[in-house]
């Protein structure tokens, strides 16, 4: 079952400030001239469901209106419920592999994996197929990194470049296939 990440980072590899603030990303999005969306709508057309960690969910939960019309799985080992969750949002407390099996039973075969720790857990489990990485031309100096330890069984993860494009407003987006997924 294919799993894809579509995520933005600062040029120095952070997805948020140390406190989770995304002001720098919001400022970059404000420079995008509509109807340009950097491929997001086309990407979402091929997605059946989203997977995100609790921290990402808590951030996205504050967006008005709720941005997703697809099922959303929130991975968490610490919370027991998601009070007042939007329709289609459900808590899942299993592993990435267990989530994939569950989603497949629901007929969801193409998953969007979002959030730093969740992307890291799918990479560590050998379950991420592709990543679309949009680099924002800002250096944060510190923050929450997109990538971290690779997990047992990985000394490195090879990626194959699929495409790169850029826009006059400064964003550069590259798409990669992960080559050495676990079997």
Give the global pTM. 0.92
3-state SS, residue 45: helix
> What's the half-sphere exposure (Cβ side, CA atoms, 13 Å) at 139?
1
Over its length of 183 residues, how does the chain's per-residue pLDDT go in tens digits?
899 999 999 999 999 999 999 999 999 999 998 899 999 999 999 999 999 999 999 999 988 899 999 999 999 989 899 999 999 999 999 999 999 999 999 999 999 999 999 999 999 899 999 999 999 999 999 999 999 888 777 678 999 999 999 999 999 999 999 986 554
- Exposure string of 18-30, with b = 16+ CB inside 10 Å and e = fewer, is eeeeeebbeebee
Q: Which fold has domain 17-178?
A: Dihydrofolate Reductase, subunit A (3.40.430)
Domain ranges of the chain: 17-178
Q: From edge to edge, which strands make up the β-sheet containing 89-92?
A: 89-92, 72-75, 49-53, 111-114, 3-10, 130-136, 172-178, 159-166
Phi–psi pair at 71, nearest 5 degrees: -60, 145
DSSP state letter for 33 = P
Read off the tokens for 115: 């959030």
Q: Which residues pair with 131 in a beta bridge?
A: 5, 176
């Amino acid at each position: 079952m294919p799993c894809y990440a579509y995520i933005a980072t600062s040029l120095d590899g952070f997805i948020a400030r140390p406190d989770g603030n995304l002001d720098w990303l919001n400022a970059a999005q404000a420079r995008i001239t509509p109807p340009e969306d950097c491929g997001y709508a086309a990407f979402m057309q091929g997605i059946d469901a989203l997977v995100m960690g609790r921290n990402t969910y808590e951030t996205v939960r504050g967006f008005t209106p709720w941005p997703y019309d697809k099922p959303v799985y929130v991975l968490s080992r610490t919370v027991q419920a998601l009070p007042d969750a939007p329709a289609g949002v459900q808590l899942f407390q299993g592993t990435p592999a267990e989530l994939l099996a569950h989603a497949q039973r629901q007929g969801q075969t193409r998953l969007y994996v979002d959030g730093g720790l969740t992307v890291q857990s799918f990479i560590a489990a050998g379950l991420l197929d592709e990543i679309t990485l949009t680099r924002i031309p800002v250096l944060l100096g510190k923050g929450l990194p997109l990538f971290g330890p690779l997990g047992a069984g990985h000394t490195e993860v090879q990626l194959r470049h699929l495409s790169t494009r850029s826009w006059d407003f400064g964003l550069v987006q590259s798409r990669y296939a992960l080559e050495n997924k676990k079997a």
